[in-house]
Amino acid sequence: AQKITQTQPGMFVQEKEAVTLDCTYDTSDQSYGLFWYKQPSSGEMIFLIYQGSYDEQNATEGRYSLNFQKARKSANLVISASQLGDSAMYFCAMREGPGNQFYFGTGTSLTVIP
Amino acid sequence: NAGVMQNPRHLVRRRGQEARLRCSPMKGHSHVYWYRQLPEEGLKFMVYLQKENIIDESGMPKERFSAEFPKEGPSILRIQQVVRGDSAAYFCASSPPGLSGNTIYFGEGSWLTVV
């Protein structure tokens, strides 16, 4: 089974609108971490936001927020007030296990339309 | 505090040659991960190392690929007898030990082209 599932290969959003990128995960661990990364066309991987499995509040970082629904095992990324510079690939990731292994989803390509 | 350093950034090899990719983790980080990204695809886990130990190599192809993280010096991903299908971006990431809040930080990647 996939550890991280991102079902949206591509998404479009109008500039200044909000967009939600979906992510579901699979783990039997009680303690784990969920992450989102952005990869622009230049190729580097940029860390955006983190949510711990024991955190009761949804994580927020500026225009990014993580909609954490533990029972559903989902960790969707919400980007508010989209900007043209948000056009990129977005990867959801989970850290779990005794070895603190990191697993990544296949990514969602976001295009912001002016 | 320098980030994760990867070199070379771009490497061209002929089929059958060897490719060596190096990764120096961030200061204080003892965990190193290698990922491969094929064109238009996501990140595929290859190997997870701590100093002098391979923790998880379940993503490494059985042949031609090896990785090490010696006590001194950078982590090395070695690909012997490269083939065209090895052309990809290879990302290294590092993290400190522990789970809470610790993300992994990526290098800028090494782009391997096999001609």
Q: Which residues pair with B93 in a beta bridge?
A: B33, B106
A91 in reach of chain B (CB within 8 A): yes
Contact between chains at A44 and B99 (C-beta distance less than 8 A): no
* Tokens coding A87: 């056009």
Which residues of chain B make contact with A107, given a CB cutoff of 8 A?
42-43
Cα separations in angstroms, B103 against A2, A46, B5, B29: 20, 11, 17, 11
* Tokens coding A74: 């989902």
In angstroms, the CA B114 to CA B59 distance is 21
Residue A99 has what pLDDT?
A: 66
Of B56, B93, B101, the CB nearest to A99: B56
Average pLDDT value for chain A: 93
Helix spans in B1-115 (H)? none
User: B78: distance to nearest CA of chain A, Å?
Assistant: 21
User: B66: distance to nearest CA of chain A, Å?
Assistant: 19
User: A49: distance to nearest CA of chain B, Å?
Assistant: 9
* Tokens coding B65: 């690929």
Number of neighbours of residue B109 by Cβ within 10 angstroms: 23
pLDDT single digits (tens) B60-73: 999 999 999 999 99
Of B43, B105, B111, the CB nearest to A91: B43
| E strand map for chain B | 5-7, 10-13, 19-24, 31-37, 43-50, 53-56, 65-68, 75-79, 88-95, 105-106, 110-114
pLDDT single digits (tens) B23-38: 999 988 888 999 999 8
Phi-psi region of A98 (alpha: psi -120 to 50; beta: other; left: phi over 0): alpha
The residue-averaged pLDDT of A25-41 equals: 93
Q: Which among B111, B92, B101 is positioned nearest to B32, based on CA atoms?
A: B92
Residue B98 has what pLDDT?
A: 64
In angstroms, the CA B84 to CA B87 distance is 6
* A51 and A34 Cβ atoms separated by less than 8 Å: yes
Establish, for the pair of chains A and B, how many residue pairs have beta carbons separated by less than 8 Å. 63
A68 in reach of chain B (CB within 8 A): no
